[in-house]
Amino acid sequence: MSDRAHTVTLLTRNGCGLCAVALEQLRPICADFGIEVEIADVDAAAATDPGLRAEYGDRLPVVLLDGREHSYFDVDEPRLRLDLAR
């Protein structure tokens, strides 16, 4: 495990079925690294950050690792585990 704490954020929106699946996949992966998954609803965030929805809103769910896009639509578990271990 890495000494550096990572952040994992799931970009989602209310009613997104793929987002719910991604969250269920992310929780055990992140738990293995002692990380809580942060969740950001792009529609709710649009009031203060319209760019977030403009950038990611048409390809949710999106997984951000340390604020940078890591994967979208599907959680790339092997790659995420490798990157979290760094």
- pLDDT tens digits along 40-59: 999 999 889 889 899 998 99
* Mean pLDDT of all residues in 29-43: 96
Rounded Cα distance between 83 and 86, Å, is 5
CATH number at residue 74: 3.40.30.10
Is 3 part of any domain? Answer: no
Count the domains in the chain. Answer: 1
Residue 1 forms part of a structural domain = no
Determine, yes or no, domain membership for 75.
yes
Structural domain of 56 = 8-85
Residue 53 CB neighbours (<10 A): 19
- Is pLDDT at 1 greater than 60 in this prediction? no
Alpha carbons 9 and 69: distance in angstroms, whole number: 9
pLDDT exceeds cutoff 60 at 3:
no
